[in-house]
Amino acid sequence: MVTVFSTIEKSLSFFYRIVLSRIIGAEGLGIYQICLSVFAVFLTAASSGIPITVSRLIAKGSASGDLKSKNAAVTAGVVGTLIFTIPMAVMLFFGRNALGFLFSDDRCKNIFLLLLPGLVLTSVYAVMRGSFWGNKQFLPYSVIELLEDAVMVILGCILVYGVADPVLGAQRATIAVLVSYVFSFIVSLFWYFKKGGRFTNPKRQLKPLFASSMPITAMRTSTSVINSAVAVLLPVLLMNAYGLTNSEAISLYGIAIGMSVPILFIPSSLIGSISVVVAPELAENFYKKNTSLVKFDVEKSVRAAIFIATLLIPILFVLGDEIGEFLYSNEMSGEIVQRCAFILLPMCISMITTTILNSMNCEKKTLMYFFFGAAAMLASILVLTKYLGVYSYMIGLAASFVITGILNLRLLKKQCPGIKFIKYMVHALIVVTASCAFGMLLDGIVSNYVSVVWQMVICAPACLAFTGAFLYCLEMFTFHPLKKLISKT
């Protein structure tokens, strides 16, 4: 259920990026992306670690039978996030004249200020989201997430329609983001109180909340800081290395980060769905010391992440060029997708194992591993940009995921002795290699006779069917869960 809603939501967002890229262009999309990247730093610092921690504290209360602690955990989360967001929003607004150092383009500053009210509102919504996870209320969570995105997409399309100026387009798209934050804030609070939630004395939960959320917040804040640093650093390095103008460098950044990366991060929505469902259940079993169920949850989650990457890599590798041309009318965006499709495997493994380890109280370790990966990414950008252009970021991203994925798996082996995933991963690599070869052969034949659209219509399902059949022959998945679901229905 979470996956279905999440897929629809991400499809809307993806459609919205296509609209933005075609109306406000790569330059406008780059400005919009830079503003969101900087805003994400403050939003992440305010609330990124709190939802998963609130979820885990609620799961812990359920495991121990301490039901009164649930409302206290939610209240502690709201108090904790407001302590940071309100002073920060006020300081950023009155100190707006000093914000120039945050942006590589001065045009971004005024657009960024539009998002400040959303800093407070969406951080509170993040706490509500954590309460939904912990109480396993996945339907309201999924519906609110979908409606928030729908509000942004519908309003954004209306506001940017007919806009020729990239700066004005980025400004109007940002207004749509703010309105969507207001919507999710109001609806989530309404649902929380409607279902019996209350704000109570948070004293007993403040200390465990901050102790658990700080490493996660530090990791995710660092991610946002790094993304913002890349938004400033990469255009400057491109200008210095290739003699580009500021607009040309921003356009290249917009192509790589605003067009190609969202395609490569399609699996993140599926991994996110798995994480939302598995995290509270895994945490509850962990605190109950039910090792057999913990091992089962870990194995099925890691294998699911590998399975998702295995299905998608051949499609993006074979059809990356066509996808970029079809969606954005931009050849370079598709080229990046095709050449970097193999990032998906370490990315999926890194994402799911980080969630698993955080649910098992290993936040400090995952934070340390993240910094190792981040250092590799920044080193790649600083050293390789003059040789490889925007591909330096993609290589750094791949290196980061490989490092964190390997270290996370190593720690999981220690935390859950006996878990098995190596054989599954080796089989997945074999399947990916064979499927990519099959897809390239088929695409080479089909491209001589049909248009780009028909290439995708024919080759994507064929690659998916070939991959699925190969996985089934290797017994990497079965239809039993689907049959069971249908029989129950």
pLDDT at site 479:
62
More confident residue, 172 or 273: 172
Sign of CA dihedral 338, 340, 342, 347: negative
- What local confidence, expressed as pLDDT, does residue 485 receive? 46
User: Is the pLDDT confidence value at 189 over 70?
Assistant: yes
Q: What is the pLDDT of residues 196-219, one digit of tens each?
A: 778 888 777 777 777 767 777 777
pLDDT confidence of residue 344: 94
Residue scoring higher pLDDT (279 or 91): 91
The mean pLDDT of 450-468, rounded to a whole number, is 92
Residues 231-268: tens digit of each pLDDT: 888 989 999 989 888 888 888 888 888 889 888 988 88
pLDDT > 70? residue 325: yes
Please give the mean pLDDT across all residues of the chain: 84
Q: Exposed e or buried b for every residue in 19-34, given b needs 16+ CB within 10 A?
A: bbbebbbbbbbbbbbb
| Residue 482, pLDDT above cutoff 70 | no
pLDDT of residue 204: 76
**pLDDT beyond 80 at 69:** no
Rounded CA gap, 460 and 242, in Å?
36
CB atoms inside a 10 Å sphere around CB 196: 8
Percent with pLDDT over 70 in the chain: 94
- pLDDT in the model for residue 443: 93
Q: How confident is the model at residue 3 (pLDDT cuts 50, 70, 90)?
A: confident
Give dist(CA 178, CA 438) in Å, integer: 45
- Tell me what percent of the residues of the chain surpass a pLDDT of 90: 30
Q: What is the pLDDT of residues 133-178, one digit of tens each?
A: 777 788 888 899 899 999 999 999 999 888 888 888 888 999 999 9
What does the pLDDT read at residue 489?
Answer: 46
**20 closest CA partner among 118, 155, 120, 203:** 155
Confidence band of 67 (pLDDT split at 50, 70, 90): low
Radius of gyration of the chain (CA): 22
Tokens matching residue 376: 């590799």
pLDDT digits (tens, 9 = 90+) for 126-139: 888 888 877 778 88
In this prediction, residue 480 has a pLDDT band, given cuts at 50, 70 and 90, of low
pLDDT for the residue 168: 86
pLDDT value of residue 481: 55
